[in-house]
Amino acid sequence: MGALKYSTNNTVVPPSDLNQKIRVCVRKRPMNKKEMERSEKDIAPLLNTRSIQINEPKLKLDLTRYIEQHTFIFDDVFDANSKNTSVYERTAFPLVKYMFEGGRATCFAYGQTGSGKTFTMLDPNHGLYVLAAKDIFALLKKPENEHLSAWIGLYEIYQGHIYDLLNERKKIYAREDAKRNVIISGLREYPIDNVGNLIQVFEFGSNERSTGSTVANDSSSRSHAVLQILLKPKNNRKKIYGKLSFIDLAGSERGADRGETDIKTRMEGAEINKSLLALKECIRALDQDKRHTPFRQSQLTQVLKDSFVGKSRTCMIATISPGGSNSEHTLNTLRYADR
Ligand SMILES: Nc1ncnc2c1ncn2[C@@H]1O[C@H](COP(=O)(O)OP(=O)(O)OP(=O)(O)O)[C@@H](O)[C@H]1O
């Protein structure tokens, strides 16, 4: 990423390759009502379709205010007025095509609580998973895919444990089989043959998700939610032909040490921090084509092993808030996503 040398200022830049092993995109959400009421400034102008500037408000020792500018370049940057459909075209859609080529694909949303992870990934009307499902069922109707069927599984990772959201939050375990594939034993998977069906099963499962309240968002997620859509041969349910996982990660700021006194919250934060760091390490290893991927460092990266080794592709969507009050979190998110 850092190797890109073209100008960042309002110039037309060449689009990034949609078929890269890893793509990292940023999505900025619109100002919300509270931010508008506080007349917050938008501190995150886009410079072009691939770069964004953060105007960080700072204070000198003599208390005079100044702005520190930071510029970041990504594979795509989506502005506040972008619709999920255009985000989909350049993030999850290439992964849908890839799973029909027999690949394992993963799409993550990473960002601060309230920055739009769930809205982007898992919104029941126009989340990327719904848009993907529409294309998946259309592709399954094609004669060349007649032998395949789609299955869905939904689980969350909370404090290093896996809970099956389609089976009353039953605790389940990941293990490696003789071929060193990671299997989540006991995970309930349902065959699905249309979008309505998938949304219904997903909604049932997401009601089970463990949520708690934070200052930023009353139903903030403290867990990572993983929705997996599998393609299996109709005549062999044990075999996985292709896989696409959508992951709504826990709020990134929850991993920071915020001086919480409550032990439960501290432990949650430590675990989230561990898993997000492990994820970053794995993505870095994948990016640099390293032979060793440290996926064993957390439960999250362990269950995603097949996204990091072999025929795999990953897209990370870093979601950010536009307002000045979130500048620190926004910078942390962009630094995390910056490769
Ligand atoms: N791009 C967007 N356009 C319009 N509204 C948005 C957008 N992104 C987020 N929102 C709205 O902002 C609010 C917070 O978004 P969301 O719940 O997706 O955040 P989150 O990052 O998933 O937070 P958490 O980690 O707490 O789950 C929601 O009301 C959502 O509808």
- Please determine, for residue 219, whether its predicted confidence score (pLDDT) is greater than 60: no
Residue 7 resides in a domain? no
Which pLDDT band holds residue 260 (cuts at 50, 70, 90)?
low
Residue 257 resides in a domain? yes
Residue 216 resides in a domain? yes
Which pLDDT band holds residue 220 (cuts at 50, 70, 90)?
very low
Distance 125 CA to ligand 1 centre (A): 13
- Please determine, for residue 1, whether its predicted confidence score (pLDDT) is greater than 50: no
């410079």: which residue's tokens?
47
pTM of the model: 0.90
pLDDT of the residue at 28: 98
Please give the number of the atom of ligand 1 that sits closest to the Cα of 82: 1
Write the pLDDT tens digit of every residue in 295-306: 888 999 999 888
Q: How far is CA 29 from CA 73, 111, 267, in A?
A: 18, 11, 29
Write the pLDDT tens digit of every residue in 309-338: 888 899 999 999 999 999 999 999 999 999
pLDDT, averaged across the chain: 87
Q: Which two tokens stand for residue 238?
A: 């044990």
């962009």: which residue's tokens?
334
Which pLDDT band holds residue 3 (cuts at 50, 70, 90)?
very low
User: Are 80 and 183 a contacting pair, CB within 8 Å?
Assistant: no
Provide residues with CB under 6 Å of ligand 1: 29-30, 32, 111, 113-119, 217, 220-221, 251, 319
- Please determine, for residue 6, whether its predicted confidence score (pLDDT) is greater than 50: no
Q: How far is CA 21 from CA 153, 167, 194, in A?
A: 24, 33, 29
Residue 316 resides in a domain? yes
Q: Which residues pair with 242 in a beta bridge?
A: 231
User: Are 48 and 11 a contacting pair, CB within 8 Å?
Assistant: yes
Give the Cα separation of 193 and 250 in Å (integer): 29
Write the pLDDT tens digit of every residue in 168-212: 899 999 988 887 888 898 999 999 999 999 999 988 888 877 554
Residue with CA nearest ligand 1 atom 3: 29
- What values do phi and psi take at 41, rounded to 5? -85, 145
Domains contained in the chain, number: 1
Residue 59 resides in a domain? no
User: Are 207 and 103 a contacting pair, CB within 8 Å?
Assistant: no
Residue 6 resides in a domain? no
Residue 66 resides in a domain? no
User: Are 123 and 130 a contacting pair, CB within 8 Å?
Assistant: yes
Q: Which domain holds residue 282?
A: 22-29+74-338
**CATH code: domain of residue 88:** 3.40.850.10
Mean pLDDT of 151-180: 91
Instruction: Using a pLDDT cut of 90, give the percent of the chain over it.
Output: 62
Per DSSP, helices labelled H in the chain are 33-37, 84-90, 92-99, 117-121, 128-140, 195-206, 263-287, 299-303, 305-308, 327-337
Distance 144 CA to ligand 1 centre (A): 38
Residue 176 resides in a domain? yes
- Please determine, for residue 218, whether its predicted confidence score (pLDDT) is greater than 60: no
Residue with CA nearest ligand 1 atom 25: 113
